[in-house]
Structure 1
C-alpha cells in the first residue's frame, strides 16, 4: 500500500489531521496556511499563486 492510499481529504489514516502553519504568500502577500513549516529564505505561495510557479509537466 502506498502513501496515497492512506490519504483521505485532509486526514491521513496513519497520522490524523495535518498540522498547518501560517505563512505569507511571496507573490501577493496574502496570509495562507501550508502543511509544512516554512523555511526562512524560501518562498511560500498561496493556492492561487502556486500554479504560476510550478514546473510544467511534459
Structure 2
C-alpha cells in the first residue's frame, strides 16, 4: 500500500528546479517541472487559487 503521508520525495533527493513566470502575478518563480508552452504556471502564492478543492 502506498503511503501518501508527509514522506513525499524524501528518498529521491533534491528536484531540479526550472525558472518560470507566474501566469497570474507575473512574478519570477521556480517550479519542479519543465514549463510547457501554452500552459499556465503559477507561483506558490497564486497556485492555491487555481487548485480544485479536495473532496
Assess same fold via TM > 0.5. Answer: yes
TM-score, normalised with respect to structure 2: 0.80
TM-score, normalised with respect to structure 1: 0.77
Matching residue within 17, 28, 48 for 1:20: 17
Aligned ranges for residues 1-58 of structure 1 at < 5 Å? Answer: 2=2, 5=7, 7-8=9-10, 13-14=11-12, 16-58=13-55
Residues 14-41 of structure 1, C-alpha deviations (whole Å, 9 max, x = no match): 4x31100000000000000000000000
Runs of 4+ in 1 over 6 A off after TM superposition: none
Q: Secondary structure at the match of 2:30?
A: strand
Structure 1, unaligned runs of 5 or more: none
| Greater relative contact order structure (CA < 8 Å, 6+ sep) | 2
